[in-house]
Chains A and B, each alone.
Chain A
Amino acid sequence: MVDRTLSSTAQRAYWLGRYLERAGSTARLVSVNANLLIDLPVRLPLGWLPLIGILAQEDEYRTLYGDRSHNKNSTLDENEKSVARFLLSDPRNPGSLINSLSFTRENARTLRGTLPRASYEHINDAYLFAKETLQEPLSRSRRNAGLKDIMSRLDQINGFLSSTMLHNASWQFFRLGNFLERADMTTRIIDLRTTNLVENESDLEPFADIQWRSVLNSLDAMQSYTVSMQNPVNQPDVLEFLLKNADLPRSLLRCFNTVQNCLRSLPKHDQTLDLIQQMRRQLQRARVKNLQGPRLHRYIDARQKQLSSLHQQITDTYFPQS
Chain B
Amino acid sequence: MDDIIQAQNLTKTFKDFKAVDNVSFNVPKGEIFAFLGPNGAGKTTTVKMLTTLLRPTAGTIRLNGIDTVTNSENARKTFGIVFQDPSLDDELTAYENMEFHAVLYKVPRRELKERVEKFLRFVELWDRKKDLVKTFSGGMKRRLEIARGLLHKPEILFLDEPTQGLDPQTRNKIWEYLQNLNKETQITIFFTTHYMEEAEQVAHRVAIMDRGKIIDSGTPTKLKEQTQTKTLEEAFLKLTGTAIRDEEASGTDKLRSHARMWRSR
A and B bound? no
Chain B residues close to A by CB (< 8 Å): none
Chain A residues close to B by CB (< 8 Å): none
